[in-house]
Amino acid sequence: MTSKTATEDTRPSLLEKARSAMPGLTTVETGLADVTTRLRQARASVRPEESVVDVALETVLDGEKVPDDVGPQVLKIRRSNEAAFAAAQVLGPMERRLQERLLVVHREQADDALAVLRAELDTVISQAGPVLAELGDVDSADAAIAADRVVQWRQADAMASRYVGVRDAQRVIVAAALDPPDQPRATSRVSPQIRDLLADYGFVREADRHHPTVGTGANGGEVRLSGSRIFSGRLVTDAHTDAPVTPRPWLTGDTITDLRFACRAGVEPWVPAINELTGARDEHEQRKQDEARDEAERMPGDEPERRLPHGRRMPPPPAALLDRIAREELGESV
């Protein structure tokens, strides 16, 4: 009899479910893995013909005659090597073509996989809302016991695990599309750049409204921003490392806390398509530039001040006033 646990263990993971929405992905990955293995075997099977000489020499030094099959052995090794070289000549281009095809599949079909994750996220958020409302401000297992809300705590913990599963799968899918793997299958090893991109723009829509350092790469909490200004026509952001910033409220390291934030009113958790993700980043960068430029224009001082003779300083005056001042300086009548 099959146990319930064994049955659950055989179910496909959320990542596998998402990847199954990408037509042809498994076929390309399986084919690439097979070709890569065979190419490695072909290259490893090459043997030097001199190995026959070494064996024959040892035989002679032992007082015996040169083996009669020395020639056939060399021919056998030569034919085997020629077959290996020929296989490598075929398998090498096949591997490159399959790698190119794999990149195409990841880039063109990532949105299909992300749609599966988006549906799962919607389900988790809709189910978690009522549970978290019943749980209230309980923030630990001990507090749940004390408040007689153990059932709600366990439900919230399970939903938080599902929420984390969505985000973990999202990272792999996005990384494979934007930072293609150099191996037959995409793995959970995601670059820091992709993690930052998703942390800033991939989990919460318009995240900069909820956290001030979105887009600064400050996910680790080691950078503090003091402000932005325009200098010589460029946006300059002053950063210091003497005080950590507050972690993003949707990535605190506590799964239930992160789920709570995702369920808050006014927060819109999302799993964006690839173009939506990069578009959100680009729009935010443009908005930061525009806001900094507007601020610099409202608060003069970042650009060199205009100076008049005798040390007088003032904003640029009208042309008529400039003419009058010039005449006064020259001692002319006005």
**Whole-number pLDDT of residue 224:** 42
* H/E element, 312: none
Structural domain containing residue 321 = 308-334
> Is the predicted pLDDT of residue 39 greater than 90, yes or no?
yes
- 171 pLDDT band, cuts 50/70/90, is very high
- Establish if 287 belongs to a structural domain: no
- Establish if 314 belongs to a structural domain: yes
**Whole-number pLDDT of residue 62:** 73
* Percentage of the chain modeled with pLDDT above 70: 76
Q: Which two tokens stand for residue 80?
A: 């085997």
> Is the predicted pLDDT of residue 153 greater than 80, yes or no?
yes
Q: For the segment 68-125, what is each residue's pLDDT rounded down to a tens digit? A: 777 787 888 888 889 999 999 999 999 999 988 988 898 899 999 999 999 999 999 9
> Is the predicted pLDDT of residue 232 greater than 70, yes or no?
no
How far is Cα 29 from Cα 23, in angstroms, rounded to an integer?
12
* DSSP string computed for 279-307: HHHHHHHHHHHHHHHHHHHHS--SSPPPB
Query: Lowest-confidence range among 60-74, 111-125, 134-148?
Result: 60-74
- 297 pLDDT band, cuts 50/70/90, is low
How far is Cα 171 from Cα 199, in angstroms, rounded to an integer?
10
DSSP state of 216: T
The larger pLDDT score, comparing residue 149 to residue 307, is at 149
> Is the predicted pLDDT of residue 192 greater than 80, yes or no?
yes
- Establish if 262 belongs to a structural domain: no
- Establish if 162 belongs to a structural domain: no
- Establish if 318 belongs to a structural domain: yes
> Is the predicted pLDDT of residue 22 greater than 80, yes or no?
yes
Nearest CA to 172 out of 35, 37, 22, 27 is that of 22
Indicate the number of domains in the chain.
Answer: 1
Beta bridge mates, 239: 225
Query: Lowest-confidence range among 73-77, 233-237, 260-264, 265-269?
Result: 233-237
- Establish if 319 belongs to a structural domain: yes
**Whole-number pLDDT of residue 300:** 52
Residue 20 and residue 117 in contact, taking contact as beta carbons nearer than 8 Å: no
Q: Which two tokens stand for residue 217?
A: 């790469």
- Establish if 333 belongs to a structural domain: yes
**Whole-number pLDDT of residue 326:** 72
- Establish if 141 belongs to a structural domain: no
Task: Give the CA radius of gyration of the chain.
Answer: 33
* Percentage of the chain modeled with pLDDT above 90: 45
Most confident of the ranges 69-78, 181-190, 252-261: 252-261
**Whole-number pLDDT of residue 286:** 87
